[in-house]
Amino acid sequence: MSNPAALNIIIVSADGGVGRTLRMALRGVNVRNITLATTPQQMLDAFSTSDPHAVAVYVEGPENDAGLELIRFLRRSPQSPNTRIPIVAVSPRREMPTINAVINAGGHEYVLFPASGDTLLKKIMAAWQTTRPFIEQPDYVGPCRRRREDKTYSGPERRADRKAKTASAAE
């Protein structure tokens, strides 16, 4: 889908001001179908009234965070309306513990807040159009965490092959 106006997005943030800021940014790039939710119940209600393409979740930090709990709920709970929905985490934190917590919870993309509408839309589209396989294991549910250009992974020797190619190119 290349038409932002046709996207249905749910924005979840306990802070209503953050949610409205994200909605305003997305409306600036022509996304029109946006539902704001400040509680998990409002998010579930939004799933029942619309068919969302993605969820944007505001995450404060790596520990005891309602946003991370919501991502885990969407990925792992039997009550989740869609365990495979693309999830974009929006956070003011750029530290690796927060980013890793989002990745390990099952988020597709990570955006620093405040973000422009264009940046947010690009991340939503990347999450929605991802071709990464979806992993369902006891300790992790979400998109494959590996991002690689070389889709022909052939086992442990892959890095050795890459080093050999780099060395021969340098000669």
pTM metric for this prediction: 0.80
Say which CATH number the domain at 57 has: 3.40.50.2300
Domain span holding position 64: 4-144
Task: Say if 50 falls within a structural domain.
Answer: yes
Cα 165 to Cα 7, 154, 158, 161, distances in angstroms: 42, 15, 11, 6
Task: Say if 46 falls within a structural domain.
Answer: yes
> What pLDDT score was predicted for residue 1?
58
Q: How many domains does the chain have?
A: 1
Task: Say if 88 falls within a structural domain.
Answer: yes
- pLDDT per residue, tens digit, the chain (171 aa), is 578 888 999 999 999 999 999 999 999 999 999 999 999 999 999 999 989 999 999 999 888 899 999 999 999 999 999 999 999 999 999 999 999 999 999 999 999 999 999 999 999 998 888 777 888 888 888 888 776 555 555 555 555 555 555 555 555
166, with CB counted inside 10 A (0-12, 13-18, 19+), is: exposed
> What pLDDT score was predicted for residue 137?
85
Task: Say if 171 falls within a structural domain.
Answer: no
Task: Say if 75 falls within a structural domain.
Answer: yes
Task: Say if 28 falls within a structural domain.
Answer: yes
CA 28, 33, 34, 39: dihedral to nearest 10 degrees?
A: 180
- Residues with Cβ within 8 Å of 68's Cβ and at least 6 positions away in sequence, in order, are 59, 62, 101, 102, 105
Task: Say if 169 falls within a structural domain.
Answer: no
> What pLDDT score was predicted for residue 45?
94
> What pLDDT score was predicted for residue 152?
56
Do the Cβ atoms of 13 and 38 come closer than 8 Å? yes
Q: How many CB atoms lie within 10 A of CB 91?
A: 25
